[in-house]
Amino acid sequence: MKKKQLKKLKQHVKKHRPAPYIAQLTQYGELFDSFSAIKYLVNNVLEADRLLKRGLIPQALPKLLLPDDIQDQIFAAVNAQYPRGDRQGDRLWEQYSNALPKLDQLLRNFRDYLEMTYGMWSYTNTSFISTLSDYLAGAPVLEIMAGNGYLSKGLRDHNPLQTIFTTDSQAWVKENETGKHPVTTIEALDALAAIEKYGDQVDYVLMSWAPDKDENDYQVLKLLRKRFPDVRLLVIGERNGATNSPKFWHLAQLSQPAALAPVNAGLKSFDLIDEQVYLAE
């Protein structure tokens, strides 16, 4: 390919490259500014991103799904503003209709944005942290596979006197954003080494969104059963879904006692991922 052709191709790619996620969402928020149901969802996402950029724990989110009748709402609004057959009204309706599927996709992809931008997998929000902190009641905890440390940071902010050991192997640093943007101090230890080091100093081990590509989670369970049977394992993930190994879900004895109900209510997934908190034995 000649230099001129290559330069032209690069210019074309640059010109047609999609705007960054938040910029796109902001544009759609402005386009649908008069539709409160859409504005509410967009503003929630933008506020969560604003807080995360500052290294803060974001708020809980509503389900990021457009209302089923949103097209009917928009059609009625356009018809109320313009008479039938008005070209300006037709152009506006077409603009809305073309934008809706793109906006819907953006909202559905928010978890992907969090993973790629912040290395945040489980959506650690202030409501969840508050209820989890109440459940733990100040007991010493060890977080394994902590990633960027959002869970530990939230608990430390909520109860500065609580003993929290935060650890991660940092094996994912070269593959994605996990470990690249720590929001609290994280000790470089893999899960088993961390349990061996701190198992006799804690009452709980927290394991959030363990990878589904290996069986380290099951090895954690085995080690706790053998060496630290009185330490309780709290697991945050999607059962038989996006997190943890099939072996773990099959062999762990899982429970959700009544005391965990407020914690799960606080976690409150914003998309189709059904992440929950379990006690595992």
The answer on pLDDT for 174 being more than 70 is no
Average pLDDT of the residues in 109-118: 95
Task: Tell me the per-residue pLDDT of 56-105, one tens digit each, with 9 for 90 and over.
Answer: 999 999 999 999 999 999 999 999 999 988 999 999 999 999 999 999 99
Burial class of residue 279, CB neighbours in 10 A (0-12, 13-18, 19+) = middle
Distance CA 151, CA 61 (A): 17
Alpha helices, H only, 199-245: 216-227
Tokens standing for residue 38: 């859409």
Task: Tell me the per-residue pLDDT of 181-226, one tens digit each, with 9 for 90 and over.
Answer: 899 999 999 999 999 999 999 999 999 999 999 999 999 999 999 9
Contact 45, 24 (CB under 8 A): no
Quote the pLDDT of residue 7: 45
For tokens 């080091």, what's the residue? Answer: 197
Task: Tell me the per-residue pLDDT of 129-149, one tens digit each, with 9 for 90 and over.
Answer: 999 999 999 999 999 999 999
Tokens standing for residue 229: 């049977």
The answer on pLDDT for 171 being more than 60 is yes
Tokens standing for residue 187: 């000790």
CATH class belonging to 126-280 = alpha beta
3-state secondary structure of 259: helix
Extents of the domains making up the chain: 3-108, 126-280
Burial class of residue 236, CB neighbours in 10 A (0-12, 13-18, 19+) = buried
